Chains A and B, each alone.
Chain A
Amino acid sequence: GENVEQHPSTLSVQEGDSAVIKCTYSDSASNYFPWYKQELGKRPQLIIDIRSNVGEKKDQRIAVTLNKTAKHFSLHITETQPEDSAVYFCAASKGTGYSTLTFGKGTMLLVSP
């Protein structure tokens, strides 16, 4: 089955700095890669996703890049703000109507004012 590795497990940055979280996946058939943000005790919220026919996608301060050959994808957050502090999960799936998401172990991002 699919295996998703996520690094780092914790990341501390100063407000205004950039943050990068990296994930690798094992199944070359995976073609859908979402990122979720989860604040303590709350639901995971989809913040951005990318499909394998695209190399990069951007939404304001958030961007995701995908390298299919190397089987890795990354989340980039620029101009970080304290409210970006949360746990971020990457995931991968085959993107069919019957596929499941395999999640990484999560990255706790702490943005200090």
Chain B
Amino acid sequence: GAVVSQHPSRVICKSGTSVKIECRSLDFQATTMFWYRQFPKQSLMLMATSNEGSKATYEQGVEKDKFLINHASLTLSTLTVTSAHPEDSSFYICSARPSGAGRADTQYFGPGTRLTVL
């Protein structure tokens, strides 16, 4: 149980294009999902918290107009990197926190998306 999928696993795009990444909780509902960015050999940096049915909460320094987040259902959150540039190249990982009492703080991670912007 507690499986999170992420699609695509890898994407290569040209500078200036937009890329959408999907995060799905497959066997549980998640009121809250999180988007992280991870550079090589570094820790996970929280970008934003995605809440179903409401606006995402962005961490300081993360441009909300560049990283658009939509959490339209209890099992799906999307991250759109708009007008991507080479410096946006990174490993993007989502996580989902199961709804309901007793599991409100555990996060399960997706497999990540490797974004390369040429």
Binding site for B on A (CB under 8 A): 32, 34, 36, 41-46, 49, 89, 93, 95-101, 103-106
Contacts and interface: CB of A to CB of B under 8 A. Distances in A.
Interface residues of B, number: 20
Given A44-B109, A100-B49, A105 B42 contact: yes
B107 interface: yes
Interface string B96-114: 0000000011111111101
Contact of B44 (A34, A45, A89): A89
A100 B104 contact: no
A97 B44 contact: no
A97 B32 contact: yes
Interface of B: 4, 31-32, 34, 42-44, 46, 49, 93, 104-112, 114
A97 B111 contact: no
Contacts of A104: 43
A26 B44 CA distance: 18
B84 to A, nearest CB: 21
B93 A32 contact: no
**Does more than half of chain A's interface fall in helix, strand or loop, or is it mixed?**
loop
A95 to B, nearest CB: 4
A45 to B, nearest CB: 7
B42 A43 contact: no
B38 to A, nearest CB: 9
B111 A42 contact: yes
Contacts of A97: 31-32, 104-105
B105 A96 contact: yes
B106 A43 contact: no
Contacts of A45: 109
Contacts of A44: 44, 93, 109
A50 B42 CA distance: 24
Contact of B105 (A32, A36, A42, A43): A32
A95 B105 CA distance: 5
A58 B105 CA distance: 19
